[in-house]
Structure 1
Amino acid sequence: MKKFLLVFIAGTACFSAAAQSNTELKTHYEAYYKQMKTQGDMRGAINALTHLNVLNPSQERTDTLAYYYANSGQNLQAVKLLGTEKDPQASDLAVEVKAAALKALNQPQLAVQQYDILFGRKPDVYLAYDLLDLNLQIGKTAEAKTYLDYGIANAKDDEMLPFYQSNPPYQVPIKAAFIYQKGLYEYNQDKSQLDTAIATIDEALAIAPNFKLAQQIREILVKQKEAPATPEASDKQ
C-alpha cells in the first residue's frame, strides 16, 4: 500500500510539473508571439504560433498560421496546413488563404472551388473576376460567362484592379478588365470573328488607355487578322 501511495504521489508530482511546464511554455510563447508581431517579424511570429499550436491546438490558430505563411509567399506551407478540400464549414480566413495560395501555386482546378465558396458567402466583382479567369483557364466557359455577365453588370467606375505582371505594376478600372475579358471570350467562342473581339477590347482601352495587357492582346489579334491566309484556309473558302 505504501509502495502504491509513493508511486501515486510521484506520478501526481510529475503530472503537476508537466502541467506547470506547459503553462510556462504557453505563457512564454504568447509573450514571444506578441513581441514578434510588434516588431513586424513574420518568421518569428510563425515560429511562436507553431509552438503555441503544438501546445494548445486550435483551428483558429491554424488558420492564422496559414495566413502568415501565405502572406510571406510560403503558399505550399499554407496549403499543407489547411488542405485543399472544398469545406463549406471552414472559416472565411481559411477559405481565403486556400483560394489565394492555390491560385499562386497554379492550381486553378482546386482554387476555383475555394473562390466558389467565397462568392457564395459574399459575392463581389473582385471574386467574380477571379472566378471568370480561373474558369476560363480550366475550360469551363459556361461558368466563366456567368461571372463575366455579373462583373460587367455590377462593376463600379471607381473600383480598380491591379496588374502586377508588368514592371512597374499598374491598375485599371475593373469594368475595363471585364470588358477586355469579354473580348477574349468572344474570340475563344469564334476565332473567325476577330473584328468583334478587337472592337470589344477597344471598348476596354477607351476606359483604360494604360491597360498594357489589353494593348498587347489587341496587337496580337490585329496581326492575326492582317496575316495572309494560308493555302489550306483559301481552299476551305
Structure 2
Amino acid sequence: MKKLFGLVLFLGSAVMVAQTNQELMKHYEAYYKQMKTQGDVQGIINAMTHLNVLSPSQARKDTLGYIYMSEGKYMEALNTLGAEKKLTDSDIALEVKAVSLKAIKRPELAVGHFEELFKRDPNPVVAYELAELNLQIQNMAEADKHIEYGIANAKSEMKKAFYESQNPYEVPLKSAFMYLKALSIYNKDRKANIDPAVDVLDAVQKDAPNFQLVQITKNELLRQKQALKSQAAQPQN
C-alpha cells in the first residue's frame, strides 16, 4: 500500500513538473516574441537561454551563439558552442565559430572552420576569409590558392567593407583580392618584392580609387624601399 501511495505521489509530481515546464515554455516563447518585436537583444538572449534550459536543442544553442556573435560577444558565442571543429556542426555553428575565433585573433583555429564552410559552399566571400587568415599564419600556398579563386570568381556586384578609417567604405571584392595578392607577393621576399607588390597596388588603385588601405600600404612599402636604399648606401666599416 505504501509503495502504491509513493508511486501515486511520484506520478503526480511528474505531471505537475511537466505542466510547470509547459507553462514556462509558453511564457518564454511569448517573451521571446515580444523581445524580438521590441528589438531588445538582451531580452532575446535571456529568453533563448531559458528556452534552451527548459528544452535543450542544438538549434536553440546555434541561434543563441549566432546572436552573441552578431552582437560582438565572441567569447560568449564560443562558450555557448565551443571552439572545436565538428563535421556535424550546422552551417550557422560553423560560421559562429569561424567568425568568433577570427575576432579574438586565433587565425590558426578559425581557418579550419572556414575551410569546412568553403567545402560546403565554395564562394568568393569565404575564400577571402581563408586567403586573409592563411596570410596571417604565413601559409602562402593556401593563401595564393584562395586569392586566385577569388580573383577568378568575384562578381562585379560583390563588395568588401573596410573599417580602418573613421569612415567605413566598400570596394569591389575583386580589388580586395588583388590587395591580398600584393601582400602575398611582398611577404614572399620583403626586400626583393617591394616593387612587384607596389605595381599590383597601383593597378588596384586605378580600379578602386577610394581604397584607402592600398595607399597606406603603398606608402609603407615605399618607405621601406627608401630605408633599404639608405642602408645600402652607408659605408661599411
TM-score (norm 1): 0.94
Matched letter for residue 41 of structure 1: D
Q: Aligned equivalents of 2:60 and 2:36: distance in 1?
A: 15
Look up the match of 1:226: 226
Q: Aligned equivalents of 1:168 and 1:34: distance in 2?
A: 35
Q: Aligned equivalents of 1:165 and 1:183: distance in 2?
A: 18
Q: Deviation of residue 5 (structure 1)? A: 2.4
What secondary structure, in the 3-state scheme, does the structure 2 residue paired with 1:157 have? coil
Tell me if 1:71 matches 2:76. no
What secondary structure, in the 3-state scheme, does the structure 1 residue paired with 2:230 have? coil
Q: Deviation of residue 193 (structure 1)? A: 2.5
What secondary structure, in the 3-state scheme, does the structure 1 residue paired with 2:157 have? coil
Match runs of 1:2-17 below 5 Å: 3-17=2-16
Look up the match of 1:87: 86
Matched letter for residue 200 of structure 1: V
Look up the match of 1:115: 114
> Which 5+ residue runs of structure 1 have no aligned equivalent?
none
Q: Deviation of residue 232 (structure 1)? A: 9.0
Tell me if 1:203 matches 2:189. no
Q: Aligned equivalents of 2:187 and 2:231: distance in 1?
A: 20
Q: Deviation of residue 231 (structure 1)? A: 5.1
Matched letter for residue 217 of structure 1: T
What secondary structure, in the 3-state scheme, does the structure 2 residue paired with 1:162 have? strand
Tell me if 1:168 matches 2:171. no
What secondary structure, in the 3-state scheme, does the structure 2 residue paired with 1:230 have? helix
Q: Aligned equivalents of 2:181 and 2:7: distance in 1?
A: 75
Aligned residues: 234
Q: Deviation of residue 34 (structure 1)? A: 1.1
Q: Aligned equivalents of 2:232 and 2:142: distance in 1?
A: 37
Q: Aligned equivalents of 1:140 and 1:204: distance in 2?
A: 23
Q: Deviation of residue 51 (structure 1)? A: 0.6
Q: Deviation of residue 99 (structure 1)? A: 0.9
Q: Deviation of residue 164 (structure 1)? A: 1.8
Deviations 1:34-53 (A, max 9, x none): 11111111101110111110
Look up the match of 1:53: 52
Q: Deviation of residue 190 (structure 1)? A: 2.0
CA RMSD of aligned residues (A): 1.5
> Which 5+ residue runs of structure 2 have no aligned equivalent?
none
Q: Deviation of residue 194 (structure 1)? A: 1.7
Matched letter for residue 15 of structure 1: A
Matched letter for residue 230 of structure 1: Q
Deviations 1:128-148 (A, max 9, x none): 111000001111111101001
Q: Deviation of residue 234 (structure 1)? A: 7.2
Matched letter for residue 220 of structure 2: I
Matched letter for residue 164 of structure 1: Y
TM-score (norm 2): 0.94
What secondary structure, in the 3-state scheme, does the structure 1 residue paired with 2:174 have? helix
Q: Deviation of residue 233 (structure 1)? A: 8.2
Q: Deviation of residue 152 (structure 1)? A: 1.1
* % identical equivalent positions: 48
